[in-house]
Amino acid sequence: MIVAWRLRGPVLGLLVAGAGLALGCASRPPAAPPGAPRPSAPPTAEPAVRSRVPLAAAPSRASRTVELGRSVRGRPIEAVVFEGGSRCVLILGGIHGSEPSSADLAGRLVEHLKGRPQDLAGKRVLVIPRANPDGLAAGTRWNARGVDLNRNFATDNFEPCARNGRAALSEPESRALVRAIALYRPSCVVSVHAPLNCIDADGVDASYALAREMARVSPLPVNDLPAMPGSLGSYAGDELGLKMITYELDRKKTPGNSPAAYLDSHLPALLAAIGRG
């Protein structure tokens, strides 16, 4: 599938500054139009992508950890990269710090793939278990500045306010996720949340087909939730045209009794997304 990358001027400026890339597409010029709004935090202040091995180097092992950026309080935002092929699937958890079960499931997926690299299905898989490390540490939905990161992306429906951010991509955590998408160009994004107990699709028709495939092996049903302003679903699914899944667990916290059994019951759905994404 050919993915049409439609990066907006402010988004592109952030990515060029943060990762040293010059990205563009046939339908949009790479330079921002005169007078285009800019995020409140200067892009040049954002740290460059740092990896424990160079990004361009051939990996010497099945996985490596890449630092995409830092949170408001300086905590690293890390991705575990599994090299299995050229086509990429991105899976993330913990964008809302009050939903630690989502981070637990993403972390469990990392453990699983390290032990069973054959489940990469010939894909490069990028897993970000803790997209909002400050919120997870504090047990709050928001980041350390009180912004809902899942309302802070540059979309047509973005609504600036204190909770959503005064400008799109005003937060270092949301910029780190956009940087990951720009660097690795996934064909599919799965964002794990809780506790709405469903599999939600956004954007292209292929997203809805993938949601149905995941539901066949998941405890969760498919449910079409409304697109929220400035959400990752709106950004990746509607703006970029990627396969986009929001995977909503049925509880915010992983149960204390048999947590492995609970998490493992959801692994087949994530593996289906890897295989078909």
Domain that holds residue 179: 45-276
Distance CA 145, CA 148 (A): 9
CATH of the domain at 85: 3.40.630.10
Specify the number of domains making up the chain.
1
The predicted pLDDT at position 60 comes to 37
Confidence of residue 67 (pLDDT cuts 50, 70, 90): very high
Q: Is the pLDDT of residue 52 over 90?
A: no
Residue 150, C-beta contacts closer than 8 angstroms, at least 6 positions apart? 95, 96, 191, 228, 230, 231, 232
| ∠ CA 154-239-153, rounded to 5° | 20
Residue 200, C-beta contacts closer than 8 angstroms, at least 6 positions apart? 211, 222, 223, 224, 225, 233, 245, 246, 247, 248
Q: Is the pLDDT of residue 13 over 50?
A: no
Cα dihedral 198, 211, 152, 177 sign:
positive
Identify whether 33 is part of a domain.
Answer: no
Give me the phi and psi of 212, to 5 degrees please: -65, -40
Confidence of residue 32 (pLDDT cuts 50, 70, 90): very low
Identify whether 222 is part of a domain.
Answer: yes
Identify whether 28 is part of a domain.
Answer: no
Which of 10-19, 100-109, 208-217 comes out lowest in average pLDDT?
10-19
The predicted pLDDT at position 59 comes to 39
pTM: 0.80
Residue 259, C-beta contacts closer than 8 angstroms, at least 6 positions apart? 104
Percent of the chain with pLDDT over 90: 77
**For residue 90, what are its two tokens?**
């991105």
Identify whether 178 is part of a domain.
Answer: yes
More confident residue, 245 or 1: 245
Q: Is the pLDDT of residue 6 over 70?
A: no
Distance CA 158, CA 166 (A): 10
Identify whether 241 is part of a domain.
Answer: yes
Identify whether 32 is part of a domain.
Answer: no
Distance CA 142, CA 135 (A): 6
Identify whether 40 is part of a domain.
Answer: no
pLDDT in tens, 69-91: 999 999 999 999 999 999 999 99
Confidence of residue 244 (pLDDT cuts 50, 70, 90): very high
Distance CA 132, CA 148 (A): 10
pLDDT in tens, 188-237: 999 999 999 999 999 999 999 999 999 999 999 999 999 899 999 999 99
What integer is the mean pLDDT of 40-59?
A: 37
Does residue 165 come out as left (phi exceeding 0), alpha (psi in the -120 to 50 range) or beta? Answer: left
Identify whether 200 is part of a domain.
Answer: yes
Question: What are the distances in angstroms from CA 47 to CA 69, 107, 116?
Answer: 6, 24, 33
